[in-house]
Amino acid sequence: MIESDTPDRRAEANLPVREATGRLLVLVGAFVCAACGLVYELELVALASYLTGDSVTQTSVVLSVMVFAMGIGSLLAKRLRPRAAASFGVLEALLALVGGFSAMALYAVFAWGGEWAGAWSEGTPWPLVAFSLAIGLLIGAEVPLLMVLIQRVRQQDAGGAVADLFAADYVGALVGGLAFPFLLLPLLGQLTGALVTGAVNAVAGAALVLGLFRHDVNPRTRRALTAANLAVLVLLGSGAVLVDDFERAARVAVYGDGVRVAVRTGQQEVVLTGGVDGPLDLYVDGRLRVSGRDQRRFHEALVHPAMNGPRARVLVLGGGDGLALREVLRSPGVRRVDLVEADPDLVRLGRGDPALGALNGHAFRDPRVRVRDADAFGWLRGSGRRYDVIVSDLPDPATTDSARLYSQEFYGLAARALGDRGRLLVHAGPFSARPHAYWTVEATLRAAGLRTVPYRVTARAPAVPTGPERRTKASSAPRDWGFVLAGSTRPSLGLGPGVGDGGRGRPGGSGGRGGHGDSGGYEDSGGSDGARDSGDSGDPGDSGDSEGRGTSGGRDGARDGAADRPGGVHGDERGSRGARDAGGSGGARSGGGMQVRLRSLTTQALLAGWREAARHRVTGVEPSTLVRPRYGR
């Protein structure tokens, strides 16, 4: 209990320094406290955005709750004015403790919180709201108490005191706002940065009260405040010492015990798991970017349908892991590939990590590849090059930070970069889990003047969703991917010349059985799944797509299928038992004949995925623009 023996707040304080110096010290204290308060605020926004991928919603929630709480805190501080010095000391110690440990506490809830952790993927969890409320209450109570303290130094008119105090407060907020992204985050990281900020906050509050206003508190209160601040500093220091162990333990809880690489680049956090005795998984900013269990399924579906036509000049947007690049280089006739990746550190990892390099076939070593370290939007805007194929391997459109890379303006720039008969292939996020986002991508491409062919393919469904994309129920994890193939004229959906299907057996004609194709169009290359293609039965026009395979030894028969599909979709299949897989670096070469056999993708599968998309088309969807983004969870 704070004793109420503080002198009358209207009387001038007995200061150990001159009046002008004392006034300056109060303003410096207000400056430091304001800077620390804004760092706490930005820390909550950054961590919540990282864990959910939805920066707009999380920023709105944190700012709204904190501003509301600051108003409540200001009202509550009226009762503390008679004991302003002691109350301010207690307030700053609490703020340093709560704000300093806020990031660690939220990350701990996310890593070990069970159902609470799953809530991060569904919206704004209550722990974030609770910390925003607590920090806002404490920050809001600062200004009324500082107002009393500055008047204790020297009585002046209220307007002048408010002007001086708010000037220091706003300048401190400016410094804190700039220090967080340019100093604390790159040098210390989110967790250590918050702990250091808490320590600075505690020292500033204790110095102001126990130094400048020590005569305003009795000896017992001074001892209590000294002990409390020392305890806070010890706790914050212990947290800083143990933060690396905490991060490792949290990563194990989130990603499993196979974490091999965890690095914060200049733009994002990259985590690699597995890759030694098991499949490699790549997480970027907490979201699964590459799964070694089905990465070949994804990247074959992302690249090869776009290679059905002229393909000498290829542009890959994103794809710093090198896996889309690997598939591009497998296609015959590719002469030049430009890869535009905003994070050069991710490209360095794709080049230098042994497991990831082996997975991408050391594609970055190919002399045809040119890497551009640039933002895809800005690069397209300034480049005058034209390409036969553009592959968009960018972050999921449901994250608001990437919405501009799925805007009408962006696709307009991409369309301008397409040559005659050029094709653009876009990964549009999960097809079934986020249908609105998927069909918004398709509508946006059409609004940019492109003609589209949407299709979906199935993913290997994980038994238990892992990583920051966890859901409270395993059944709600994404089970398929959505893609959109686009061009100035309606492109053909199929595999290009020299590319053979990954199916086994003889795909059936109309109403027949597909070879190892599931409803999304993939065989399970590691298993014995012989599921029937659910889109084939009775669908008109299927008889034109088949791969003949002889059952006896010797040469296989190959049959080309180019029958028109509804909506202008075409199939193109060529097969050969003796096909050479030219995967990896430098494997592709110009020329005719069969050179590449895909391991998973089939033309029949693509057509089934196109029919599946047509059956589930969502109408009335508006395109997304820079000023009116329409993607959401």
For the annotated catalytic residues, the residue numbers are 393
**Residue located via tokens 């990437």:** 402
CA distance 406 to 629: 9
Contacts of 96 (CB under 8 A, 6+ apart): 36, 198, 199, 201, 202, 205, 232, 236
- Other C-beta atoms closer than 10 Å to the C-beta of 182 total 10
Distance CA 598, CA 575 (A): 10
Q: Identify which of 584, 115, 144, 94 has the alpha carbon closest to the alpha carbon of residue 322.
A: 584
**CA-CA distance, 604 to 485, in Å (whole number)?**
16
Rounded CA-CA distance 319/394 in Å is 7
What is d(CA 530, CA 339) in angstroms, rounded to the nearest whole number?
Answer: 37
- The amino acid occupying position 467 is G
Q: What is the dihedral of CA 520, 632, 468, 484, to 10 degrees?
A: 30
Distance CA 606, CA 140 (A): 58
Residue 540 is encoded by which pair of tokens?
């008109």
CA 164, 169, 174, 179 torsion-angle sign? positive
- What is the residue type of 584? G
CB-CB contact of 376 with 344 (8 Å): no
Cα separation, 449 vs 489, in Å, equals: 10
- Residue from 427, 598, 429 nearest 521 by CA: 598
Burial 156-177 (b: 16+ CB within 10 A, else e): eeeeebeebbeebbeebbebbb
What's the CA gap between 195 and 548, in Å, rounded? 66
Stretch (H or E) spanning 147: helix 126-153
Q: What is the DSSP letter of 181?
A: I
C-alpha R_g of the chain = 30
Q: How far apart are CA 262 and CA 246, in angstroms?
A: 13
Residue with tokens 């397209």: 380
Closest CA to 408 of 439, 450, 445, 453: 445
Cα–Cα distances (Å) from 116 to 112, 151, 343, 480, in that order, read 9, 46, 32, 25
Name residue, tokens 């070469």.
589
Tokens 């290679």 label which residue? 307
Answer yes or no: are the C-beta atoms of 584 and 611 closer than 8 Å: no
